[in-house]
Every structure is written in structure tokens, then in C-alpha cells.
Amino acid sequence: MPTPVKSVLPVVLLGCGGVGRYLLRHIVSCRPLHANQGVSIRVVGVADSSSLLVAEDVHSSGLDDALLTNLCAAKSAGSPLSSLLGQGKYQLFQNPEARSKVIDAATTLGRTTGLVLVDCSATYDTVSLMKDAVDHGCCIVLANKKPLTGAYEDFQKLVSNFRRIRFESTVGAGLPVIASVTRIIASGDPVSRIVGSLSGTLGYVMSELEDGKRFSEVVKTAKSLGYTEPDPRDDLGGMDVARKALILARLLGQQISMDNINVESLYPSELGPDKVSSKDFLESGLGHLDKGMEERVKAASSRGNVLRYVCEIESTGCQVGLKELPKDSALGRLRGSDNVVEIYSRCYESSPLVIQGAGAGNDTTAAGVLADIMDLQDLFQKTA
């Protein structure tokens, strides 16, 4: 006998990039699993940077799985959402009307059946939309770090009803970093310190340097393996790690902004994107960094340590950059592109809670987003 549906979760997805497409594929492939749990995820809208595809009647139906599958294929091929015209029962709206239609859906569903607004984009432009959704009683799920790392007032607004927001995938993809920190805090055990290697790219680079390889060689290999952004300086500058550190620091109650974080870049300003092209940086600029990095690696090794690019969050502040760590520590043993986080508290003072695993990748991140959506199911009831 089929399991009766207990919860229907209407979802509007913002962002059809790698993470967004993997999320839609996961939702479709997990239908049998979720059905056995009495849960149905109804995708009622999908938006990219220019338009919104929305179901004809968001109250009673969503976009069917065949359309979602075709949507993923079209976006993977670089086609716009408008290329799907005629493939199902839906409405298509172009910006700026698309934004107002998302708000319409939030207004319609937020205070009735409920709505989950999922941000898998990579822009600050969704902040106001997210705040409006909160005002309409919607739940929000974030893979996009930027809404949580802008003005502190925006962060406060978004997390004002903590039951209705999930943002696990903003820090460690599918790793339970946010959940672990919030559980420790909820137990009355104050978190005193967090140290983490939160960039799969930089984790790979730093561990490879231990084998005597040149910095420029390792960065180029990381790029060829798809670990880096198209311009590796987006990783080497440390801002992605800084955003993750800021989210964790704010979670601990620190009312700070990005300006309060000391971020060490692995390249000098004279090799920045505003002065040197990506091609010139890779072909000639990187080589100038080899000697300095080699000296730092050897100096650390002479003291029995290794270099890791980490964030450190303490009551006195937050720092992001290279740090010498014992070879036999959890962070020192890190190899490859895994993330590692150490959480220190009263109960975990001498032996920290260590979380390690794949902390990057579209598939892994999307799985974490889906888990966040499912975590909200108790806030939703069956609808027609």
C-alpha cells in the first residue's frame, strides 16, 4: 500500500547553474524515496538570471518531471528558459516582471500552504527577494553565501525565524557544519573557536606542495582538474573562504562584516585581475610566486609542521590565511580537496569535534540543499 502523503513542499528555485540543475535532478530521482516517507516536493517555479518559468496553478500543481529534465538539459547546453516554450503547462515571465511573479507566489503560498524559496544563484541581487519572502512567511534555503555575508542587518532579517531558514550548503557543501555548530550552541555549550580548511581548491593546493611540487605547477593542475574557478585568483584570493568564515562568525553571535576579517591573498595586488589578465597570470605571473611559497613550505616543514589555508574564528576576531599546523593534526593530515573543520567548546576543549569530507562540487552541494529542504517538511501539511 502506498504511503499517504503527509507533507507537500512547494519550491521556487532561483539559479539554474550547476548546483541548481543537480538539485532538480536529485528531486526527480528521489521521488520514490520521498514518496515512501510521505513527502512530495512540488517545484512550482524555476528562475535564471533573466526569466522565470512558473506552473499555471501554483496551488495545485508543479512543473512536471519531464519538463524539469528538459530544463536541465537546455540550461546545460546554454539555452534560455524560453527555449522550453510549448513543452508543458506553465507561464514564462521575463525580468523585471519575473521578480514580481516570485513575490506573487510567495504572497499566495507563504501564508497558506507555505513555500520554500531556494537560492542556488551566486549573486547579491536575491537579498531583497529573500527578505520579502521572509515577510510573507516563506521558508528559505540557501546555497548562495552572498545574502548572508552582506550587511549585518540583512543577515539578522534572514535568520530572524531560525525555524524557517536552512543554509548548511553555504559553508561545507553537504557537510553538517552549520548543524553541528547550532546543536552545540543549543545545548548551552559555548563554542570558543572554529578552525577550518573550507576550500577544496586550496586544500588540494596546500597538500600537494608538501611533495615538493611548485606552486605554479599545482595551481595549473588544480585548474585542469576542474577544482578552481575559471580564473584561479577567485580561489587564491581567499574571499570564498572569508564568506564562509563570516557566516560561521555571525552564527556565533559576532556582529561583524567582511571588513573586520583579515584575509591573506596568495597573490600580490600587482597580479590582480584589474592589472593582469587571467591568461598572463597563469602563463607568467604564477611562476613569480614559486620561490616565496617554497620557502614558507620548507620553513614549516623544518618545525615539523605543514601549511594550510584556514579560517580561524575566535571571540577576539576572525582571520583567513596560511597557518602552520602540526602534521599529525586533523588539518595537517588533510589531503586532496576535502574540507576539514575543528570545533572547540567547553565539552570539546582538548579534543575538538572534527568534521571532514567532500566540501565542494555541484552534486555534493545540491545533495546538501535537498537535505535542507527535506528538513523543513514538518512545517508543511498535505494540500490538495
User: Which positions are catalytic?
Assistant: 244
Question: Count of CB atoms within 10 A of residue 347's CB?
Answer: 12
Q: Which residues contact 186 (CB under 8 A, 6 or more apart)?
A: none
5, with CB counted inside 10 A (0-12, 13-18, 19+), is middle
CA gap 171, 363 in Å, rounded: 15
**Cα 180 to Cα 158: distance, rounded to the nearest angstrom:** 20
Q: Which alpha helices (H) appear in the chain, and where do they start and end?
A: 18-29, 31-36, 65-76, 97-110, 127-135, 152-158, 169-172, 177-186, 200-209, 215-224, 233-236, 239-251, 278-280, 290-302, 362-374
Q: According to the annotation, is 318 in a ligand binding site?
A: no
Does 226 count as an annotated binding residue?
A: no
Report how many helices (DSSP H) and strands (DSSP E) the chain contains, helices first. 15, 13
State the distance between the two ends of the chain, measured CA to CA, in whole angstroms.
20
Q: Distance between CA atoms of 81 and 16, rounded to whole angstroms?
A: 10
**11 annotated ligand-binding residue:** no
Check: CB of residue 110 under 8 Å from CB of residue 140: no
Please indicate if the annotation marks 347 as binding a ligand. Answer: no
Length of the chain: 384
Distances in whole angstroms, Cα of residue 144 to Cα of each of 20, 48, 100, 155, 356: 11, 14, 21, 13, 21
Whole-angstrom distance, CA of residue 128 vs CA of residue 273? 29
Nearest CA to 101 out of 60, 140, 44, 19 is that of: 44
Is 20 annotated to bind ligand? yes
Residue 145 annotated as part of some ligand binding site: yes
Is residue 15 marked as binding?
yes
Asked if residue 38 belongs to a known ligand binding site, the reply is: no
Q: Are 331 and 300 in contact (CB under 8 A)?
A: no
Residues of each annotated binding site for NADP(+): 15-20
Residues of each annotated binding site for L-homoserine: 229
